[in-house]
Every structure is written in C-alpha cells, then in structure tokens.
Amino acid sequence: MKKRDTYKNYLIKKLLGVDSTYYKPNPKYSRAKDAPMHLALIIDGIVEDIIHCDERLGYLLMSEPLVIELDNNSLKVNISDLYDEEANSFYKEGKNV
C-alpha cells in the first residue's frame, strides 16, 4: 500500500531519485493466501471486508477490543497506557484516576 501520490512526492522521486512511500510490502507474505490469519469484517450480517494479517493483529481484533478514534488532543497516548471510560481519558499506570 502506498502513500497518497502528491506533486511533492513526485518531485522527491524525480529530482532526488528517492522512493518516498511509507508502506513497503512485507516480503514475508507475498500473497494474501500466505498470511497466517484471515478475518471477515461483518457489519449487520454482511461481510464488508476480509483482512489478511499476522497472528498478533488477528488475535487483537478477535478479542473484541474497544476501538476509539484518537483526536489531536490524544496523540500522546502510548502502548500500556490505561483508559478511563467514564472520563474518556488516558493515563499512565501510576497516576490516580
């Protein structure tokens, strides 16, 4: 999957000879059928998409996680931070709620 193609990216590629793509294909899985897990995303009884992923992402998605869209104020959230649903806020483990 490539970053959106823009004129700036075109100039970087053309003038500097640099490939400015963010996402490189994972050589570990060259085809979707080679991925270790395949998950169907179902909304209202209809398969909307199929995800071909590694085990870690697959098991994270299968564990019914709470998914929250982060806004610009929440960009300092880190892995292992705790989430308070009532206050709708993130905090470090040692901090009192």
Radius of gyration of the chain (CA): 19
pLDDT in tens, the chain (97 residues): 455 556 666 666 767 665 555 545 556 666 778 888 899 999 899 999 988 888 888 999 999 999 888 887 767 888 888 998 998 888 887 755 4
Find, among 60, 88, 36, 42, the residue nearest to 50 by Cα.
42
Find, among 27, 29, 25, the residue nearest to 37 by Cα.
29
Return the DSSP state at 42. E
Contact partners, residue 95, CB within 8 Å, separation at least 6? none
What are the structural domain ranges in the chain? 25-65, 66-97
Tell me the CA distances in angstroms from 15 to 1, 3, 6, 7, 19, one per residue in order: 23, 18, 14, 12, 11
In angstroms, the CA 39 to CA 49 distance is 8
pTM summary value: 0.54
